[in-house]
Amino acid sequence: MKKMIFFLILLPALVALTACGSSNLSLNSAQKTSQLQPGMSYDEVVSILGKPKSSRFENNYWVNRWVLQEKWVGYVPYDMYFNPQTKTLVSWKKNEKDFQKRQENLKTVATAVEESTAGGQGGNVPVNGPNDANLQRQFAVKLYRFSAVGGGQTGGSEETINFCPNGRFYKSGETGYSGSGWGTASQGGESGTWRIQGNMQQGKITIIQNGKAWQYDYTRREGDYVIINGTKYAIAGPPECR
C-alpha cells in the first residue's frame, strides 16, 4: 500500500541537481524548442525558453545551456550555439553525455533518501480512528509530483492525489520507462478514504483502503507544497472529486 500511494522521492535534491539557474523546468518545456529557428536573436530565444542556466565559449561559438523538462525522460540539458558577434542562434542540440551523468547522480540521491527515510505506520493503526472534519474540508487539495529516474535507462513517473472534503481520495499515476531500443508505459488509479488530525501546517493523514489503514506525517506550505512521509508534492489547486 505504501509503495502504491506515496513514492519516496526527494524533490528538493532533484531540484538541486537539475534546476540551478533559471532554465524552464515546467512540465514538458522541451516542446518549446520546436519554436526555435536559426537566426533568432538571443533575446528571442530567452523569450521562449527563459534565461539559460549557464554560458561558455567553445570553438568560436557562444554556447548557452538550458535545462528543459521532457515528459517521461526528465530534465535534459540543451546547448544552444550562437554567433558571438551577432548573438544570433546557429544551432542547438541535447547534451546526451551530461544528461546521462545527471541521471546517475539522481539515482544516487534517490537511493540514499530511500535508505534513510522511514515509512508510514501501518497495521496497528485503527480503521475508525478520530478525524477532524472541519480540518478535512479546509485541507482538501489536489497534489501533483513528477520524478525522473536513471541508471542506464531513462524514464519518470507522474502522480496526482485528490484529497476530497467528503473524506474520499482519488489517486492516479503514470510511469514511463525507456532502455536500449524498447520502452514501456503504465497507468493506474486508486481510491479510498482519508482522515486527518492536526492543523493546516502539520499533523497526520490516515489512508484507509481495503479495510486497512496507514498513517503518514504531513507538513503543508499553503499555496506551495505539501510533504507527506518525506515526499514533496506541489499544490495543484482544489481537488477534482467524483
Residue 110 is which amino acid?
Answer: A
**CB distance 49 to 69 below 8 Å:** no
C-alpha cell at 48: 521562449
> Domain 2-7+119-235 carries which CATH code?
2.40.128
Residue 34 is which amino acid?
Answer: S
**CB distance 153 to 179 below 8 Å:** yes
Q: Which residues contact 152 (CB under 8 A, 6 or more apart)?
A: 179
**Domain range 14-106, its CATH number among 1.10.645.10, 3.40.50.300, 1.10.10.60, 3.30.1450.10:** 3.30.1450.10
Rg (C-alpha) for the chain, rounded Å, is 21
Tens-digit pLDDT string for the chain (242 aa) = 444 333 333 444 444 444 444 566 567 789 999 999 999 999 999 999 999 999 999 999 999 999 888 876 777 899 999 999 999 999 999 998 888 776 666 555 444 444 444 445 555 688 888 999 999 999 999 998 876 554 444 456 678 899 999 999 998 876 554 443 333 444 456 899 999 999 999 999 999 988 889 999 999 987 789 999 888 889 989 999 98
